Structure 1
């Protein structure tokens, strides 16, 4: 982990995030955009459910990495989802965190500023098997170098099983087992 979070830091960042969300709802209600305010509330509910699923995987370092990622200085926004049955993935946690760390460092080094970049991380949980899908949308300085970096990670339990790339998107699927 790049930063060791203390309770004060976590509470400060969390409070800031919640205040931003509440201000969005309040602003939309003030403009009489009730439907948009309801959409924001629904997005918050969905995100909270995803955070709960992530927290139930018995992988606290992974949860910390994902939940605090956007609080650090990165050139892209990380969103995530957990699909499938929740189970204890603690045996895979170190490798998943290492793989994410390697991939996000490569992306940080290659994204073009000042674009709007997003990485959607999907944890697909199957019985005793994890598929980690990284869907990056944005521009990078060298697409071939990015592809090579993703193809050549040095995490032993991670195997790249699919990689699709075009000018604005790279989708890679890793099997962790």
Structure 2
């Protein structure tokens, strides 16, 4: 993977920074006597943390690391992640999958307007027999997304409809 290989200390530093930012936002809502926004911020933060913790069940450590450090490496995207994962052994070479996902994101970032904010929704699902990672962006991305071929033993689909572009990689 071409991304920075974070040490444990660096990863903890970034995670602490992110956590403190979320706490400061919640404190701001409380100071403004906006209990509903504070509650929503707490629920959103705990939901994100649950999803990130659930990635361990995927049993693809390189993909898990790529998803956990995504926000620190790809600041041009605002990432949301959802996970529904059943723990099972996977056949795919997870390092190759993580490298391929990185290549897809880097290719996208290279053609996007750096002044715009792009919300990337990532859905990770896995049963005991298969896994799937979907990347969802605004449909305008489909027109400029470069074709990225792969020789991995995985299924790749790409669709653009209903105002969004969906890229899916799946395997066993």
Change (3 A) 1:6 1:175: closer
Q: Distance in 2 between matches of 1:62 and 1:34?
A: 36
Equivalence for 2:54: 53
Query: Which is bigger in relative contact order (C-alpha 8 A, separation at least 6)?
Result: 2
Q: Distance in 2 between matches of 1:172 and 1:73?
A: 17
Give structure 2 stretches of 5+ with no counterpart: none
TM-score, normalised to structure 1's length? 0.84
Equivalence for 1:86: 87
Q: Are 2:81 and 1:112 aligned?
A: no
For residue 45 of structure 1, report the CA deviation from its aligned partner.
1.3
Q: Distance in 2 between matches of 1:18 and 1:74?
A: 17
For residue 119 of structure 1, report the CA deviation from its aligned partner.
1.4
Equivalence for 1:135: 136
RMSD: 2.2
For residue 138 of structure 1, report the CA deviation from its aligned partner.
7.3
Change (3 A) 1:114 1:134: same
Q: Distance in 2 between matches of 1:73 and 1:58?
A: 23
Equivalence for 2:155: 159
List structure 1 runs of 4+ shifted beyond 6 angstroms: none
User: SS in structure 2 opposite 1:136?
Assistant: strand
For residue 73 of structure 1, report the CA deviation from its aligned partner.
4.6
Give structure 1 stretches of 5+ with no counterpart: none
TM-score, normalised to structure 2's length? 0.86
For residue 35 of structure 1, report the CA deviation from its aligned partner.
0.8
Equivalence for 2:164: 169
Q: Distance in 1 between matches of 2:102 and 2:44?
A: 27
User: SS in structure 1 opposite 2:88?
Assistant: coil
For residue 19 of structure 1, report the CA deviation from its aligned partner.
0.8
Equivalence for 2:40: 39
